[in-house]
Amino acid sequence: MKIQKGMVKTTVKNQTSAEKIERLDNFILSGLFIFAIFSCIARIGALAALVITTILIVIRHRQSPYRQSIPGGVIGMYIIFICSLIPSLAFSQNLQKDVRPFLNIVFDILPLLLVWFGIRGQKQIIPLIAALAFSLALSSLAIIYYGLANGLNPNLRFISFGYFCMITAGFLGVLLPLLGVFILEQRELNRWLKAGLIAATFIGIGALAINMNRGVWISMIAVTFVYMMVKLRQISRWAIAALFLLAIIGLGVTMIPQFRVRAESIRNDSVALARSYQLIFHDNPTAEFKEMIKNAEKDIPERIYMWNGAWCIFREHPLSGVGLGSVEDVFKSGRGYISPLAAFPPSFKHAHNNFLQFLAATGIPGFLGFTGLFACVLWTSIRRYSRNSKDWWSLIGILVTISFLLQGLTEYNYVHAVLARLYWFVLGISMVASQLNSDNAGKREAHFE
């Protein structure tokens, strides 16, 4: 009789423990959902959701340890990347300013880890996609409103929920490829949810046009081209119809004078860059530079001056850089890093290029760490997709990374923690979903190579 009572107590205790774990898992999913909702519209809300979800995952792990291993390849490269930044701190010219961006970078990958441990099944991913679409739609509606209210002035920089246009362009660059591929590839989807996702995507495309950020325009064209080339033999009639509709919209947009002028500037700027890119690596661009870029928009000469200044900083500090938060101070130190031809020296806050920024700020170690990290992300996703051409989640990881890096050629977008964390959140979703769709999907215990 005593043995039976003991067994009953043990069974009740196990049931109670299982209920607690299930409740914690639901709270964790709610935290991820709240982060997705706030990702494009509320910095504090998104950060609070990350902190609370992290605490919940730690508590859950202490009560019932997670059995799946971390995605070792990407996480290992991220640790190497963090270590590669340490020399810049050791030789920092202003440690107080350099520590904060360093800590931001350390925690930027946190959303990927939270998604990795928090998602237990395929159905849990769909609400996160819907929440991201909702957040992007609200942000995009704000951009469209401000754009129309100001007469589509290409010289104005439209702000959405307190986020500057470069950040909102980054949101579009990360989430539009995710939503586009998800809508085209996800077969079993509630029709009302699908209609909502399509509406959010087209609202985002409208904001993409009104934002007038040419870098994200180019990145969207690039990822669309990559998707078409990859899926050329498998592409469905719906995908063809969607691309045709986008082409019609694109042609219609070019009929509006403001957009036509902005689109034509891409061609002029491309010619100017092709003629003058070598000046980036000179000690100081000469007066002949003005003739070479006379037809370019004012942004391009200023960026070339920034790139040239970042290159000169790197040449003087090749092993340690000047610190993640000190590039602006060095630019404005009066030591000749800003060309006398520059029209807007106050705008020289960073290199407007991820790779040149890390060269100037962290030297060769940080540059190699940053480049190696994203090479690892691309290689991992490409390898998984090459093994299984139906693994369109890995394709999403490839496209989102390409878009993020392309925009980073003319903008230092990795400095924006909200954008970097959104990127890692989306990449985490693609990695988890890819594993869930694999042969050993049911257990979620396999190591993501």
Q: 240-243, long-range: CB within 8 Å, 24+ apart, which pairs? A: 242/180, 242/184
- Give mean pLDDT, residues 274-298: 56
The pLDDT, as a whole number, for residue 344 is 59
pLDDT in tens, 189-203: 888 999 999 999 999
Mean pLDDT of the 82-107 span: 89
pLDDT, tens digit (0-9, with 9 covering 90-100), for 30-40: 999 999 999 99
Neighbouring CB atoms inside 10 A of 11's CB total 10
Q: What string of H, E and C letters represents the secondary structure of the chain?
A: CHHHHHHHHHHHHHHHHHHHHHHHHHHHHHHHHHHHHHCCCCHHHHHHHHHHHHHHHHHHHHHCCCCCCCCHHHHHHHHHHHHHCHHHHHCCCCHHHHHHHHHHHHHHCHHHHHHHHHCCCHHHHHHHHHHHHHHHHHHHHHHHHHHHHCCCCCCCCCCECCECHHHHHHHHHHHHHHHHHHHHHCCCCCHHHHHHHHHHHHHHHHHHHHHCCHHHHHHHHHHHHHHHHHCCCCCCHHHHHHHHHHHHHHHHHCCCHHHHHHHHHHHHHHHHHHHHHHHHHCCCCCCHHHHHCCCCCCHHHHHHHHHHHHHHHHHHCCCCCCCCCCHHHHHCCCCCCCCCCCCCHHHCCCCCCHHHHHHHHHHHHHHHHHHHHHHHHHHHHHHHHHHCCCCHHHHHHHHHHHHHHHHCCCCCHHHCHHHHHHHHHHHHHHHHHHHHCCCCCCCCCCCCC
Q: What is the pLDDT of residue 287?
A: 54
Tens of pLDDT, residue by residue over 40-76, are 999 999 999 999 999 999 998 888 777 666 777 899 9
- Whether 256 contacts 152, CB under 8 Å: yes
**Structure confidence at residue 93 as a pLDDT band (50, 70, 90):** confident
- Does residue 322 contact residue 98 with C-beta atoms inside 8 Å? no
Are 427 and 401 within 8 A, CB to CB?
yes
pLDDT at 208: 86
Above pLDDT 90, what percent of the chain? 38
Q: Residue 129 corresponds to which tokens in the numbers above?
A: 């996609």
Read off the pLDDT band of 253 (50, 70, 90).
low
- On whether the pTM is more than 0.75, the answer is yes
Residue 188: pLDDT band with limits 50, 70, 90: confident
Q: What is the pLDDT of residue 21?
A: 87
pLDDT at 200: 95
Residue 270 has pLDDT above 60, yes or no: no
Digit-coded pLDDT (tens) for 110-167: 999 999 999 888 889 999 999 999 999 999 999 888 888 777 666 666 677 778 788 8
Q: Is the pLDDT of residue 395 over 80?
A: yes
The predicted-structure confidence for 324-356, as pLDDT tens digits, reads as follows 888 888 887 766 677 666 665 656 778 888 999
| pLDDT band for position 297 (cuts 50, 70, 90) | low
> Stretch 373-377: mean pLDDT, rounded?
95
The per-residue pLDDT for range 301-322, each reduced to its tens digit, is: 777 778 888 888 898 889 988 9
**Per-residue pLDDT at 286 exceeds 60:** no
For position 441, what pLDDT does the model report?
Answer: 47
410 vs 343 pLDDT, higher one: 410
C-alpha to C-alpha distance for 105 and 37, rounded to whole angstroms: 22
Residue 67 confidence (pLDDT): 67
